[in-house]
Amino acid sequence: MKRLFPILSIITAVLLAYALRQALVVAPTDALQGDVYRIIYYHVPSAWTAFLLFSINFVASIQYLARAKAEKLVKWIVIAIGVAGVIATFLPPVQQQIPAGMRPSAVATTFLMIPAFYLLIGWLFRGEKLDILAVTSAEVGVVFCTIVLVTGPIWARPVWGIWWAPGDIRLTLTLVLWLIYVSYLVLRRFSNSAQTQILAAALAVFGALDVPLVYLSIWFFRTQHPQPVIGGGGSMDPRMWHTLLISWLAFLCFGFLICWSRFRLETLHREVEHAHAMESLIGAEASAKASMPLSRSAK
């Protein structure tokens, strides 16, 4: 696996350079916003990548909490939710509740991916690796979410005339999401309690519930953000759409490399801590055995 890292690094660098050229040169200028819209090729892929990482953190945290007695039960509950969601999506009463422009097939696919995603992570990661995956995805997710919060106001200032719209529900929910996961990282960093990992997993499950709220906010609330062009009944120039997908692919590869490096570093860190703990324990036992003859002779 170590040999793949340099190869993936080169591929990622090429993709990032290609995406930059596509965003600045190839993609056409927006008729209404002008060239400032080009920040979309960093703002949107960063948001999608952050949501994906927070979703990974959510699934890993659930599996870490349920890794003992409730593991099988939670697995079947997740499978049942996915199957029930797919079936319900095609029922006429449920379709009437789906926002206009949101395709039922896309909703069904999302429900189908829930158990597949859950089972895949459970198959690839076991035990302590689930907790390492959770903290790794949260850290990198916060980085991409920070990019979203920085590029958003830069884009909003020339388009909306303001840096930040306090009443905008999507902006507020995104900031809340960022604060929750920063709190998660602070808890992991500064708490030395034996229950830290469990408390952090519970906080992660709570925080991830904000992800669908951020996405669905523009469907159910009036916000400064426009209605979604992608999957929302709007349209996008094919060159724009192609550039957006290339940018997201580049960001996904970049995020994967960071997660890979951080996962290996966290694994090594815990192995060193475990070795130090075992060394201290062995040293304490040796000291205790060495002091036993002295105490007997003293008697």
pLDDT tens profile 82-114 = 888 888 888 888 777 666 666 777 777 878 888
Average pLDDT over residues 37-64: 92
Q: What is the pLDDT of residues 217-265, one digit of tens each?
A: 776 666 666 666 555 545 677 888 899 999 999 999 999 999 999 999 9
Residue 279 lies in a domain: no
Strongest mean pLDDT among 64-78, 107-121, 131-145 = 131-145
Q: What is the pLDDT of residues 163-211, one digit of tens each?
A: 777 777 888 889 999 999 999 999 988 877 778 888 888 999 888 888 8
CA 245 to chain centre: 18
Q: Flag whether pLDDT at 292 surpasses 70.
A: no
HEC readout, the chain: CCCHHHHHHHHHHHHHHHHHHHHHHHCCCECCCEHHHHHHHHHHHHHHHHHHHHHHHHHHHHHHHCCCCCHHHHHHHHHHHHHHHHHHHCCHHHHHHCCCCCCHHHHHHHHHHHHHHHHHHHHHCCCHHHHHHHHHHHHHHHHHHHHHHHHHHHHHHHHHCCCCCCCCHHHHHHHHHHHHHHHHHHHHHHCCCCCHHHHHHHHHHHHHCHHHHHHHHHHHCCCCCCCCCCCCCCCCCHHHHHHHHHHHHHHHHHHHHHHHHHHHHHHHHHHHHHHHHHHHHHHHHHHHHHHHHHHHHHC
pLDDT of residue 224: 67
Residue 292 lies in a domain: no
Residue 213 lies in a domain: yes
Residue 97 lies in a domain: no
Residue 243 lies in a domain: yes
Residue 189 lies in a domain: yes
Q: What is the pLDDT of residues 5-42, one digit of tens each?
A: 889 999 999 999 999 999 998 888 887 888 888 999 99
Average pLDDT over residues 276-296: 70
Tell me how far apart the alpha carbons of residues 165 and 145 are, in angstroms, rounded to a whole number. Answer: 18
Q: How many structural domains does the chain have?
A: 1
The reply to whether the predicted model has a pTM over 0.75 is yes
Residues 150, 42 contacting (CB under 8 angstroms):
no
pLDDT of residue 181: 94
14 is in which domain, residue-wise? 4-67+127-257
Residues 184, 200 contacting (CB under 8 angstroms):
yes
Residue 210 lies in a domain: yes
pLDDT of residue 297: 47
pLDDT of residue 99: 65
pLDDT of residue 58: 93
Q: Flag whether pLDDT at 151 surpasses 80.
A: yes
Q: Which two tokens stand for residue 43?
A: 């703002």
Residue 56 lies in a domain: yes
